[in-house]
Structure 1
Amino acid sequence: MPWAQARAVAATAPAALGAERVPLGAAAGRVLAAPVRALVAAPAFDTAAMDGFAVAGCGPWRIAGRVLAGRPGWPGVLAAGEAVEIATGAIVPDGAEAVLPYEICHVDGGLVSGAREAKDHIRRAGEDAHAGDEVVPAGRIATAAVLGAAAQAGADELTVHRRPAVAVLVTGDEVVTRGIPGAGQVRDALSPIVAAIAGRAGGEPVEDHFLRDDADLLRTAIESATADVVVVTGSSSAGAADHLPTVLAGLGARWLVNGVRCRPGHPQALAVTAAGRWVVGLPGNPFAGLVAGLTLLEPVVAALAGRMLATPVTLPVVGAASPYPEGVRLAPVEIGDGQARIVPGARSGSLRAAATADALAVLHPHWSTGKAAALLTLP
Structure 2
Amino acid sequence: MESRLRSVTEHVERVRALVAPLPAATLDLGDAQGSVLAQDLYAAVSVPPFDSAAMDGYAVRLADLPAGGGPVTLQVAGDVAAGRSDVAGIGPGQAVRIMTGAPLPPGADAVIPVEHTSTGRFVAGAPRAEDTVTLARRPRSHIRGAGEDVREGQLLARAGREVTAALVGTLAASGTVRVPARRRPLVAVISTGSELVPVGMALGPGQITDSNGPMLAAAARAAGADVVRLGPVPDDPVTLRAALDEAVRAAPGDANGPGADLIVTAGGVSAGAADVVREVLAAPTPGTAAQTEGSGATDVDVATVAMSPGKPQALARWRGVPWLALPGNPVGAYASFELFARPAVDRLRGLDVRVYRSLPAAVAWSSPAGKLQVLPVQVSDGAAEPCGSHHALSALAAADGLALVPPDVEKVRTGDLIQVLMLR
User: With structure 2 as the length reference, what TM-score do the two structures score?
Assistant: 0.78
Other structure's SS at 1:225 match: helix
- Give, in whole Å, the separation in 2 of the partners of 1:88 and 1:9: 56
2:271 to 220, 238, 251: 238
- Give, in whole Å, the separation in 2 of the partners of 1:331 and 1:245: 27
- Give, in whole Å, the separation in 2 of the partners of 1:207 and 1:54: 59
- Whether 2:64 is the aligned partner of 1:58: answer yes
- Give, in whole Å, the separation in 2 of the partners of 1:221 and 1:199: 20
Does the 8 Å CA contact 2:75/2:131 hold for their aligned counterparts? no
Q: Which moved more, 1:195-204 or 1:138-147?
A: 138-147
Over 3 Å counting, the alpha-carbon distance change for 1:149 and 1:9 in structure 2 is: farther
Residue matched to 2:370: 326
Does the 8 Å CA contact 1:73/1:91 hold for their aligned counterparts? no
The one-character-per-residue Cα deviations of 1:52-91 (angstroms, maximum 9, x if unpaired) are 222222324433222121223422x323433222221110
- 1:309 offset after TM fit, Å? 1.9
Alignment of 1:309-324 (within 5 A): 309-324=353-368
Other structure's SS at 1:168 match: strand
The one-character-per-residue Cα deviations of 1:285-315 (angstroms, maximum 9, x if unpaired) are 1111111111111111222123332222332
- 1:30 offset after TM fit, Å? 2.5
Q: Which moved more, 1:167-176 or 1:196-205?
A: 167-176
Residue matched to 1:90: 102
Q: Which moved more, 1:101-110 or 1:320-329?
A: 101-110
The one-character-per-residue Cα deviations of 1:30-70 (angstroms, maximum 9, x if unpaired) are 22234444333211211112222222223244332221212
Other structure's SS at 2:172 match: helix
- Whether 2:163 is the aligned partner of 1:142: answer yes
- Give, in whole Å, the separation in 1 of the partners of 2:155 and 2:399: 41
- Whether 2:357 is the aligned partner of 1:283: answer no
2:413 to 368, 371, 379: 368
Aligned residues: 374
Residue matched to 1:27: 32
2:314 to 262, 269, 291: 269
Other structure's SS at 2:166 match: helix
Q: Which runs of 5+ in 1 are unaligned?
A: none
- Whether 2:419 is the aligned partner of 1:355: answer no
- 1:12 offset after TM fit, Å? 6.3
Does the 8 Å CA contact 2:188/2:262 hold for their aligned counterparts? yes
- 1:142 offset after TM fit, Å? 1.9
Alignment of 1:296-311 (within 5 A): 296-311=340-355
- Give, in whole Å, the separation in 2 of the partners of 1:33 and 1:257: 34
- Give, in whole Å, the separation in 2 of the partners of 1:207 and 1:357: 25
Identity of aligned residues (%): 37
- 1:262 offset after TM fit, Å? 0.7
Letter in 1 for 2:143: I
- Whether 2:87 is the aligned partner of 1:74: answer yes
Over 3 Å counting, the alpha-carbon distance change for 1:62 and 1:219 in structure 2 is: same
1:259 to 284, 304, 313: 304
Q: CA RMSD in A?
A: 2.8
Does the 8 Å CA contact 1:31/1:305 hold for their aligned counterparts? yes
Over 3 Å counting, the alpha-carbon distance change for 1:188 and 1:8 in structure 2 is: same
Other structure's SS at 2:353 match: coil
Off by >6 Å, runs of 4+ in structure 1? none
- Give, in whole Å, the separation in 1 of the partners of 2:137 and 2:302: 71
1:222 to 235, 244, 257: 244
Alignment of 1:112-191 (within 5 A): 112-117=134-139, 119-178=140-199, 179-191=201-213
Other structure's SS at 1:318 match: coil
Does the 8 Å CA contact 2:55/2:142 hold for their aligned counterparts? yes
The one-character-per-residue Cα deviations of 1:208-237 (angstroms, maximum 9, x if unpaired) are 134333345444543553211112221222
Q: Which moved more, 1:222-231 or 1:9-18?
A: 9-18
Residue matched to 2:337: 293
2:8 to 3, 19, 33: 3
